[in-house]
Each structure stands twice: as structure tokens, then as C-alpha cells.
């Protein structure tokens, strides 16, 4: 009984949280973005599930953006090398 009550309380909090997200201010995107190629950095080897998902995402984003979306695989360190490459890349919104 306690487990069911706890679960219902958690679900209520989640529902309220999701409902409140609809009233938050939305960030306005810069007009005309993107103006060049968009890069997706994958911290794992090509052919894995993360790489497959990133390539599928890139394929569907290209027609929306009107610019190429390139997937870069940077394997090593269990994804740490890709993380470092992402964090040290220029914060211009294209990586």
C-alpha cells in the first residue's frame, strides 16, 4: 500500500512539473541559424547504437536546417575524449 501511495505521489509531482514547463519562457533562437555546417560529436566508435542514432538524427535534421549535419566519431576513454572535444569546441552553436 505504501509503495503504491509513494508511486502516485511521485507521478503527481512529475505531472505538475511537466504542466509547469508549458508556462516557462522559451528561448528565442537566433534568426537565420544555421548559416553553416552543424557538427554532432559522438564519443564512441562508428557502427554502435549511439553512432547509428546520431546519423539518423543528422539525416532528418539536414532538410530542416537546409545545411549539412556532420557526425564526427571521436572514440576513446569511454566517451571522455568526445566529451573533451565537445567542451573545448568553439561555443558557436554549431557543435
| pLDDT digits 0-9 by tens, 5-64 | 777 777 766 777 766 666 555 555 567 788 899 999 999 999 999 999 999 999 999 999
Contact 44, 75 (CB under 8 A): yes
pTM over 0.85: no
73 lies in a domain?
Answer: yes
Say what the pLDDT of residue 93 is: 84
Contact 3, 11 (CB under 8 A): no
**Grid cell at residue 12:** 503527481
8 lies in a domain?
Answer: no
48 lies in a domain?
Answer: yes
Count the domains in the chain: 1
26 lies in a domain?
Answer: no
Calpha distance 50→55 (Å, rounded):
9
Which residues span the domain enclosing 52? 32-88
Contact 34, 69 (CB under 8 A): no
Amino acid at each position: 500500500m505504501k509503495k503504491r501511495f509513494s508511486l502516485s505521489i511521485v507521478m503527481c509531482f512529475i505531472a505538475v512539473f511537466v504542466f509547469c514547463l508549458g508556462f516557462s519562457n522559451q528561448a528565442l533562437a537566433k534568426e537565420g541559424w544555421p548559416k553553416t555546417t552543424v557538427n554532432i560529436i559522438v564519443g564512441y566508435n562508428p557502427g554502435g547504437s549511439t553512432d547509428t542514432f546520431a546519423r539518423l538524427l543528422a539525416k532528418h535534421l539536414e532538410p530542416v536546417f537546409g545545411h549539412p549535419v556532420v557526425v564526427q566519431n571521436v572514440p576513446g576513454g569511454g566517451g571522455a575524449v568526445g566529451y573533451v572535444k565537445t567542451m573545448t569546441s568553439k561555443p558557436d552553436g554549431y557543435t
